[in-house]
Amino acid sequence: MATLADPAPDFATLPQMAAEVFTAPLARPAHVGEDWLEPKQTDYTAQDHQVWNDLFARQMEVLPGRACSAFMAGLEKLDLGRGGIPEFGALSEELGALTGWSVVPVPMLIPDHVFFWHLANRRFPAGNFIRTRETFDYIEEPDVFHDVFGHVPMLTDPVYADYMQEYGRAGWKAMRYNRLKALGALYWYTVEFGLIEEAGEVRAYGAGILSGPTEARFAVEAQSPNRIMLNVDRVMRTDYVISDLQPTYFVIESFADLYRQTVERDFDRLYRSLPAGFTYANSAVIDVDNVLHRGTQEYHLRGGRGSGAAPV
């Protein structure tokens, strides 16, 4: 049996979890193996492809000037606007030639340790299904549009691609220290909702921002949210909102800065110093913060999603 004292695994095969590590009790569908990969990508209907095309067109009206240049360049390099849901095999070949990453289909949310293992091997697990017309504007579980349109273009950037692989390795370590919530906050405030300084402005690189029209405007331009320079130690102690726009966004100087702040640090020491729960509320501004914009929080004070409050 593996224990916490074991050295880090090499990730060639799915490493065995130490018995004392908590893993979420997700029921594995009968048709997938231990790697949780679908045997093949879904056969999409013409309507499915049209949903993708319409989502793509809507984002392209919003993202120029709001998405970071690495994302826009990634869309071009992978030609994601060629029409229809991309075929993962062809997409993986193109992405593989650029940074060695591939895109693999999974049925739904997968267990953390399996997700981290795929990232550590430069495989990005992407939801197989696509939302319907009825759920066009908002979905709870990530679909192929969120995962492929939102995440995959960033994987064409070499430094960001390395960051994602290292995140997978760090995830494995976080589980061994039972500090998954803290590492989840880092993922949330970087990979999903991260902003970057570019040409004297802030632009988005997080997939949760880039795959929806409302948050793309809100994150970059609105007066409500705080925009604070990323401090990894602080972010890993900060709570986050899953089902609404973020009260706070964290901003990086560059992807090299993100890599340096996360990968080139002693995570063993960090995990040992982190409390089990979060210290800071998601709207808090604290004394160590380097604040670019102190938000009014008007949107959330008016009740947020469901209240009819404007995302201003």
Residues that bind Fe ion (CB under 5 A): 142, 207
Q: Is 12 exposed, middle or buried (0-12, 13-18, 19+ CB in 10 A)?
A: exposed
Q: Measured from the CB atom, is 74 or 295 closer to Fe ion?
A: 74
**Shortest distance, position 308 Cβ to Fe ion, whole Å:** 27
Classify each residue of 185-216 as buried b or exposed e, where b means 16 or more C-beta atoms within 10 Å of its C-beta: bbbbbbbbbbbbbbeeebbbbbbbbbbbeebb
**CA–CA distance, 209 with 154 (Å, rounded to integer):** 13
DSSP H or E stretch at residue 291: strand 291-293
**139 or 229: CB nearest Fe ion:** 139
Quote the least distance from Cβ 211 to Fe ion, whole Å.
8
- Please, which residues have CB within 8 angstroms of residue 1's CB and are 6 or more apart in sequence? 16, 18, 19
Closer residue to Fe ion (CB): 152 or 174: 152
Smallest distance from the beta carbon of 268 to Fe ion, in angstroms? 27
| Run of H or E including 198 | strand 195-198
CB 6, min distance to Fe ion, A: 30
Min dist. Cβ of residue 145 to Fe ion (A): 11
DSSP letters along 69-86, please? Answer: HHHHHHHHHHTTTSSSSP
For residue 227, which of 248, 201, 202 has the smallest C-alpha distance?
Answer: 248
Cβ proximity to Fe ion, 185 vs 207, nearer residue: 207
- Quick one: 142 or 247, whose CB is closer to Fe ion? 142
Measured from the CB atom, the residue of 142 and 225 that comes closer to Fe ion is 142
CB of 127 to Fe ion, least distance (A): 9
Q: Which is nearer to Fe ion, 126 or 236 (CB)?
A: 126
- Residue whose C-beta lies closest to Fe ion: 207
Contacts of residue 260, defined as CB under 8 A and 6 or more positions apart, other chains included, come to none
CB of 146 to Fe ion, least distance (A): 6
